[in-house]
């Protein structure tokens, strides 16, 4: 399994089934448009060349000062805060049933991409608008709720840096260990 940039000419997405119609439809119908119009970058986990096991999207975003939790808002200026948005993240049902941990691997890859972006531009955090049944998944990785109903979550870029830098006895980072099945 490897994670690569989505190529609509090469990646077969017709059989992809995450269990969420909107996520499946996005991959089949709109992912290539997002690339073409520079709205998002799409990455896929593939097994056999072209067989999509999962995908995620990344794009630039910002948060209004009033969206931030009070403790974070007090430390930041009162203007929009730059962020990286994981707009969609989905894994195929068959990959989940096989225990391949595609969602974890995709999330770790997305966080690593966010760190690369933060080395070039200002990024305060990674945000995600979670599905209700996925909040626990993101919370396991340290995502915290923004204000509101608790489905919009964030992870500060400094927290990601700490996770990436924290070595284990085997020499791999904590984030990488999560991708390898902990």
For 94-132, the pLDDT digits (tens) are 999 999 999 999 999 999 999 999 999 999 999 999 999
pLDDT for 66 = 87
Return d(Cα 128, Cα 141) in angstroms, integer: 12
Return d(Cα 155, Cα 177) in angstroms, integer: 18
Rounded to an integer, the average pLDDT of 22-45 is 96
Return d(Cα 172, Cα 93) in angstroms, integer: 28
Nearest to 24 by CA among 34, 32, 33, 13: 13
Six-digit token string for 102: 């595609």
Determine phi and psi for 39, rounding to 5 degrees.
Answer: -90, -30
Q: For each of the domains in the chain, give its residue range(s) and CATH number, in order of start.
A: 54-179 (3.40.630.30)
For 44-100, the pLDDT digits (tens) are 999 877 789 999 999 999 998 888 888 888 888 888 999 999 999 999 999 999 999
Whether pTM exceeds 0.85: yes
Rounded to an integer, the average pLDDT of 152-176 is 73
Structure confidence at residue 145 as a pLDDT band (50, 70, 90)? very high
């Amino acid at each position: 399994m490897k994670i690569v940039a989505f190529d609509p000419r090469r990646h077969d997405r017709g059989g992809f089934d995450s269990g969420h119609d909107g996520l499946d439809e996005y991959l089949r119908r709109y992912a290539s448009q997002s690339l073409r119009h520079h709205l998002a970058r799409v990455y896929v986990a593939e097994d056999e060349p072209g067989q999509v096991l999962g995908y995620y999207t990344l794009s630039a975003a910002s948060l209004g000062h009033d969206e931030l939790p009070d403790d974070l808002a007090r430390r930041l200026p009162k203007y929009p805060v730059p962020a990286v948005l994981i707009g969609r993240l989905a894994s195929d049902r068959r990959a989940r049933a096989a225990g391949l941990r595609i969602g974890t691997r995709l999330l770790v890859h997305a966080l690593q991409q966010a760190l690369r972006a933060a080395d070039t531009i200002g990024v305060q955090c990674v945000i995600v608008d979670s599905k209700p049944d996925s909040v626990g998944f993101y919370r396991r990785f340290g995502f915290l709720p923004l204000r509101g109903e608790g489905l919009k979550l964030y992870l500060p870029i400094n927290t990601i840096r700490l996770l990436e830098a924290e070595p284990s006895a085997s020499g791999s980072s904590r984030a990488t260990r999560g991708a390898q099945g902990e």
